[in-house]
Structure 1
Amino acid sequence: MRGPTAMTENMIVTATVDAPVSAVFSVLADPAQHAAIDGTGWVREGLDGEFLSRAGQLFRMAMYHDNVPNGHYEMVNKVIAFERDREIGWEPGQAGPDGVVGYGGWTWHYTLEPIGPAQTRVTLTYDWSGVPAELREHIEFPPFPDTHLKNSLDNLATLVVG
C-alpha cells in the first residue's frame, strides 16, 4: 500500500479479491452498492437506480458529513473511465443553484486485473491533483487517511465474496 507523500497528489491501494473480475466489476458498476463499499462512511445511497454503463454517464449519490451544514448533501458523479472488467472511475461534482454541475478536480479510479479465473487484483486510486487552489483553501487534501481506501477494498472484497 502506498500513501500520499509531499511529491504526490494521489493515494493508491491494491488488494486481491477472491472473486472473478466480472463479479468485482459488477459490484463497482452498481451505485446502490457504493455505500457498502465506502471506507469513509460518507456515502449513504445511490439516487438514480441505474448501473454504470459508459463514460460520460452521470450518477447521483446521497452523502453525509459532519462538516456540512445539516450534514446531508448530494454529489453528482461523472464516469470518466469505463472498460468492462478492466477499469471504472468517476469525478465527483455538485450542482450549483442554477443546476450546472461543477467538478472539484478529484477522482476515484478502480483498475481490475484478473489473476486466474477466481481472483482479481484491484487497485483503487484517489487523485486530487486537479483540485484548484481556491478549493484547497477550504478543503484539506487528502481529506482522509489512506486507511479509508484500504477499508473500501476490504468492504468490496466482503461484498463480492459474500
Structure 2
Amino acid sequence: MAQEKKITVQRTIDAPTEDVFEVLTNPERHPDLDGSGFVRSVDNADRIQSVGEVFTMNMSGDHMGGDYQTDNHVTAYSENKMVGWKTAPAGTEPPGWEWLWELAPEGRDHTLVTHTYDWSDVTDEALLEKIDFPLVTQENLEDTLGRLAAAVSN
C-alpha cells in the first residue's frame, strides 16, 4: 500500500471567513502562524492577491543546515475561499510540495479551515533521499491552526 503523501487538518475558527483570509494572505503574519518553527520572517512580500505571485521568507532548520530562504509561488487564490503556494529554495522552481488553505463559512462568525501539506508531486529522488518527508507533522499543522485562531481573535 502506497504511503499517503499529504497531511490535512481542520478546525473551526471563531471568526468571519474574511478575517481568516486577511491573516492568511499577509505573509508578514506567517511567522506567527507557523507551528513547525521553520518560518522566521518575511524577506520580500506584499499581500497575496493572485496566482503566480511569489513571496520570499527567511527560514531556519536543521534539514537545510541552518538559515535559508524560500520562494513561495502562489498556486491557488480565491478571495475568502482558498489560498495556496508551492515552496522552493530561493531562486529555484518548486520541487513539488504545496501548502493549501481552504475556508468555508459556518454562519457569519465561524470558519471551517482546512489546511493541507501535500508533497505528492515531489519526484526528485535525490531530494527524497535528502529530506525525510513529511518535514512538518500533523501536530505542527494542528498547532498552526491554533495559532491562526489566536491571530484572528486579536
Is the pair's TM-score, using the shorter chain for normalization, greater than 0.5?
Answer: yes
Does residue 122 of structure 1 match 2:113?
yes
How far off is 1:6 after superposition?
Answer: 4.8
Aligned CA-pair RMSD: 1.3
**Structure 1 segments (4+ residues) deviating >6 Å:** none
SS at match of 1:47: strand
Does residue 29 of structure 1 match 2:29?
no
* TM-score of the two chains, using structure 2 as the length reference: 0.95
Cα shift readout 1:15-62 (whole Å, capped 9, x = no counterpart): 000000000000000000000000001101112241000000000000
Residue number among 150, 156, 159 corresponding to 2:148 in the alignment: 156
* TM-score of the two chains, using structure 1 as the length reference: 0.90
Residue number among 67, 74, 81 corresponding to 1:86 in the alignment: 81
How far off is 1:160 after superposition?
Answer: 0.3
The one-letter amino acid of 1:89's match is G
Does residue 68 of structure 1 match 2:64?
yes
Match of 2:93 in 1: 102
Q: Which runs of 5+ in 1 are unaligned?
A: none
**Aligned counterparts of 2:96 and 2:76: Cα–Cα separation in 1:** 15
CA contact (8 A) 2:73 2:86 kept: yes
The one-letter amino acid of 2:20's match is V
**Aligned counterparts of 2:95 and 2:30: Cα–Cα separation in 1:** 20
Q: Which runs of 5+ in 2 are unaligned?
A: none
Match of 1:137 in 2: 129
The one-letter amino acid of 1:48's match is N
Match of 1:146 in 2: 138
**Aligned counterparts of 2:46 and 2:143: Cα–Cα separation in 1:** 25
**Aligned counterparts of 2:128 and 2:97: Cα–Cα separation in 1:** 11
Q: Percent identity?
A: 37
